[in-house]
Structure 1
Amino acid sequence: MTSALLSEDVTRQDWAGVRIPDSFRGIVTRKDETGLFEGVDSADKDPRKSLHMAEVPTPSPGPGEALVAVMASSVNYNTVWSAVFEPLPTFRFLERYGRLSASARRHDLPYHVLGSDLAGVVLRTGPGVNIWKPGDEVVAHCLSVELESADGHGDTMLDPEQRIWGFETNFGGLAEIALVKSNQLMPKPAHLSWEEAAAPGLVNSTAYRQLVSRNGAQMKQGDNVLVWGASGGLGSYATQLVLAGGATPVCVVSSPQKAEICRGMGAEAVIDRDAEDYRFWQDAHTQDPKEWKRFGGRIRELTGGEDVDIVFEHPGRETFGASVYVTRKGGTVVTCASTSGYEHVYDNRYLWMSLKRIIGSHFANYREAWEANRLIAKGRIHPTLSKVYSLQDTGQAAYDVHRNLHQGKVGVLCLAPEEGLGVRDKETRARHIEAINRFRVTEDPPPEETATP
């Protein structure tokens, strides 16, 4: 199978004869280890202790499903949550899903194969799959839905049985083989390598819905947008979307290096919150409105006296009070995740009296994910891959993300034996190579990585 994946001469007929292995290697958590970190503070929990590489049986694709050979994947914050068993062990998600049907019962196992991104090759499809064929090069978005309820047919994210693949389902992308619903598949951008193509899926789609979609903030040209963690896995795509949409990002980062990355993307308004020493909490229970005011004043210095129209929120507890305060009258705070804590505390006077809105946003529906991937394929938005690990070193990759030691996205090679493989459109790649490599921290890029004049 591996030789077929690395060859550019394999035909569709050839793929039909490729033998699917009975088992594959994947990164798993174990149900009998959910108490591993009892009594340990969240910040001190170590994903390297709970993430294991294991040989697991290969599932067969059911109706509407596809089996994909995973060339590369990436680490998202939901991998960290899974690894530290917060806010609760993901095995509860698998148990709930398993009660839905006989097909879903396959996911309720004593191990959980993680991962919500992939770039790879379709190996087999189940009954009812017509668009995708073995041999197709694909990426996957992470929305898993059943769509048996009317609630999901206006926006599939509202399906009562909506789940995040590889987090709330089994057989995720941090593995050599993954099981997905066929409506998760999208064409792999031809100018990207496997590891680059695997990086944007979850975060780019999430940022697109938050900022651009009618289900999010509906960003328009000229808006000022505050982006927390603007060089991180999620914020780096938000920053690019703001710039591509004719709006102005106000980027918040935590180091001079990250500030320079934002400027490299084209952002001019950048705040290094550590250097300027913003402390929004006086202690664990008390926020400091004077710091909100100081922060708001700094934003206006950078925008010519204007408040922000939109706040792109994802840190949660640590920043939410400040986010509500600095948003302009009638503006919008759009929030997903809560990496610093789920209990958000803010002064409601600044919300209701100034007619501000808070919008909750979670991943993206298929249309939004498709549009976000289309921007990648067109070279309007670029992967923000900074470092790539082997599959067996996924624990270290998750540790880096947990400790915020990374920038952009952290990739993982699965079946791809090395970086730089899978590029089909070298002409488009040459036009965008500087942007593609902007986040890379390797000292010696591959030989082809030379921008044309």
Structure 2
Amino acid sequence: MDSLAQAVLAGADADVLEREPVPDRYTAAHLRVEDVGVFDGVEDKDVRRTLRVGDVPMPELAPDEVLVAVMASSVNYNAVWSATFEPLPTFDFLRRYGRQGGWAARHDQPYHVLGSDAAGVIVRTGSGVRRWRVGDHVVLSAVEVDDQEPATHSDGMLGADQRAWGYETNFGGLAHYAVARASQLLPKAAHLTWEEAASTTQCAGTSYRMLVGEHGARMKQGDIVLIWGATGGLGAFAVQLVKNGGGIPVGVVSSEAKADLLRRLGCDVVINRSEIGVGGNSDPSPAESIEMGKRLGRIIRREVGEDPHIAFDNNGRATFATSVFLVRRGGTVVTCGSSTGYRHHYDNRYLWMNLKRIIGCHAANLQEHSECNRLVQTGRLMPALSEVHPLDRIGEASRRVQQNLHTGKIGVLCLAPEPGLGVTDPATRARIGEERLSPLRPPALAAR
């Protein structure tokens, strides 16, 4: 381990960190351009074949950027897309970005450092950074925007040059160091460990935009919200946000084990879809989708007396038509992804004749992330961490996400040598309680 990383782990102050040299190379989870095409004609695109952990060159820092010593990160589904080179190889994104020239040219490399979540310590700031200092403990938003683009000042997600950090850019968070713009930074919640904090930003912020923010469904008190994959990274935060906002969460999961975890989250209505034959087909026919909707609708009306106001759907093809059918007249389907397929087939009559809406959301702008991070800081939004892996096991961790064998978020230790480090406000942590902070973790792991 280099001397700068050692100083960070020792809790050195800013003066010491600034004196330590930045290493020429650093350890990172990355892809190699020569592996593009390795899955051609292969049915099981096992991400363990392409995800590598090793040294890569340290990039130069732009004036509006910071260098963060990453203590922990987490696995998002975009790591699976990246490692399978689908729907496009991410090297296409890097080449396109690099053609802008200037500082953007650094991103076009024969390697791609992944990771769209991170928690760590700032060790260098660019000459144009004003609000952050070396030594600050931060979490990172995955949204990189161009602050000189007019649309960004209305909503950062509408900018044509908005990019997903660590997916459409290089030098992401699954590494010992990460390069990010200062406009991606938020203060780390002091009562959380590094791995807990690293699990909250991307999925929690996206869920916040989908349900609470002015660009999403604008959930109000009393709204019934159907949440597919309610113990997943997005779904676990969605359940909490619905409860916090006075809504009624109806969570759908795929097993009784996940149903038990969902009850621990406090979900009002828990539906194990495997028990009622719903959602097993990744490409249902329109008739099958409507039949699934009828079955679910009967259960929901039995439990709460009404149809859902909102369907929270990031599954895509397997459930989308059911969501459109199921929400009430004037209801809303809000979507941010399609883990079961991008091409959705639904009966449009149920949409237009019943005045329903479909809203697309993608990550969250910095204000939405800041509002969501405040909920984390004040102990009103809990981490959705379920397990933790070291960086050198990123292939196995991502494989679990690829095969949907996980719940919540899978944390990844980068520079942090073990779980449980990084808490600087133990009093708040004690007030909240370990059990509440670990709703998706097995009791033995939560106690660590």
Match of 1:39 in 2: 41
- Percentage of identical aligned residues: 51
1:280 Cα deviation after fit: 7.6
- Structure 2 stretches of 5 or more lacking a match? none
1:6 Cα deviation after fit: 2.1
Q: Distance in 1 between matches of 2:42 and 2:297?
A: 36
Match of 2:10 in 1: 7
CA, structure 1 residues 133+34, in 2 after alignment: closer, same or farther (shift >3 Å)?
A: same
CA, structure 1 residues 444+144, in 2 after alignment: closer, same or farther (shift >3 Å)?
A: closer
Question: Would you say the 8 A contact 1:420–1:446 is kept in 2?
Answer: no
1:445 Cα deviation after fit: 4.6
Question: Would you say the 8 A contact 1:195–1:411 is kept in 2?
Answer: yes
TM-score (norm 1): 0.95
Q: Distance in 1 between matches of 2:319 and 2:287?
A: 10
Aligned length: 443
Question: Would you say the 8 A contact 2:283–2:318 is kept in 1?
Answer: no
In structure 1, give the amino acid aligned to 2:330.
G
* TM-align CA RMSD: 1.4
Match of 1:371 in 2: 371
1:443 Cα deviation after fit: 2.8
CA, structure 1 residues 317+283, in 2 after alignment: closer, same or farther (shift >3 Å)?
A: closer
Match of 2:304 in 1: 303
Q: Distance in 1 between matches of 2:53 and 2:280?
A: 40
1:159 Cα deviation after fit: 0.6
Match of 1:17 in 2: 19
Superposed CA offset, 1:1-32 (max 9, x none): 23321234x22222211221111000011111
Q: Distance in 1 between matches of 2:446 and 2:225?
A: 33
Superposed CA offset, 1:389-440 (max 9, x none): 0101001000000101001100000000011111001011112221112211
CA, structure 1 residues 283+157, in 2 after alignment: closer, same or farther (shift >3 Å)?
A: closer
Q: Distance in 2 between matches of 1:2 and 1:165?
A: 23
1:58 Cα deviation after fit: 0.8
Q: Distance in 1 between matches of 2:398 and 2:309?
A: 33
1:146 Cα deviation after fit: 1.2
Superposed CA offset, 1:344-379 (max 9, x none): 111111000000000010000000011111110110
1:60 Cα deviation after fit: 1.9
Q: Distance in 1 between matches of 2:168 and 2:259?
A: 34
Within 5 Å, give how 1:192-207 maps onto structure 2. Answer: 192-207=192-207
CA, structure 1 residues 283+435, in 2 after alignment: closer, same or farther (shift >3 Å)?
A: closer
Q: Distance in 1 between matches of 2:206 and 2:159?
A: 17
Superposed CA offset, 1:298-328 (max 9, x none): 2211212x01001101000000010000101
**Greater alpha carbon shift after TM alignment, 275-284 vs 295-304:** 275-284
In structure 1, give the amino acid aligned to 2:325.
Y
1:287 Cα deviation after fit: 4.0
Match of 2:31 among 29, 32, 49: 29
In structure 1, give the amino acid aligned to 2:185.
L
Question: Would you say the 8 A contact 1:191–1:426 is kept in 2?
Answer: yes
1:238 Cα deviation after fit: 0.5
Secondary structure, counterpart of 1:124 in structure 2: strand
Q: Distance in 2 between matches of 1:214 and 1:406?
A: 31
In structure 2, give the amino acid aligned to 1:236.
A
Q: Distance in 2 between matches of 1:362 and 1:39?
A: 31
| 1:382 and 2:385 correspond | no
Q: Distance in 2 between matches of 1:101 and 1:47?
A: 31
Q: Distance in 2 between matches of 1:212 and 1:259?
A: 25
Q: Distance in 2 between matches of 1:326 and 1:280?
A: 17
CA, structure 1 residues 406+279, in 2 after alignment: closer, same or farther (shift >3 Å)?
A: closer
| 1:325 and 2:321 correspond | no
In structure 1, give the amino acid aligned to 2:36.
T
**Greater alpha carbon shift after TM alignment, 274-283 vs 362-371:** 274-283
Q: Distance in 1 between matches of 2:156 and 2:51?
A: 31
CA, structure 1 residues 445+324, in 2 after alignment: closer, same or farther (shift >3 Å)?
A: closer
Q: Distance in 2 between matches of 1:244 and 1:353?
A: 32
In structure 1, give the amino acid aligned to 2:154.
G
Question: Would you say the 8 A contact 1:280–1:322 is kept in 2?
Answer: no
Match of 2:315 in 1: 315
Q: Distance in 1 between matches of 2:193 and 2:281?
A: 43
Q: Distance in 2 between matches of 1:436 and 1:386?
A: 11
Q: Distance in 2 between matches of 1:11 and 1:26?
A: 25
Match of 1:152 in 2: 152
Question: Would you say the 8 A contact 1:216–1:334 is kept in 2?
Answer: yes
CA, structure 1 residues 173+260, in 2 after alignment: closer, same or farther (shift >3 Å)?
A: same
1:284 Cα deviation after fit: 5.9
1:156 Cα deviation after fit: 0.8
Q: Distance in 2 between matches of 1:340 and 1:50?
A: 21
In structure 2, give the amino acid aligned to 1:368.
E
Secondary structure, counterpart of 1:275 in structure 2: helix
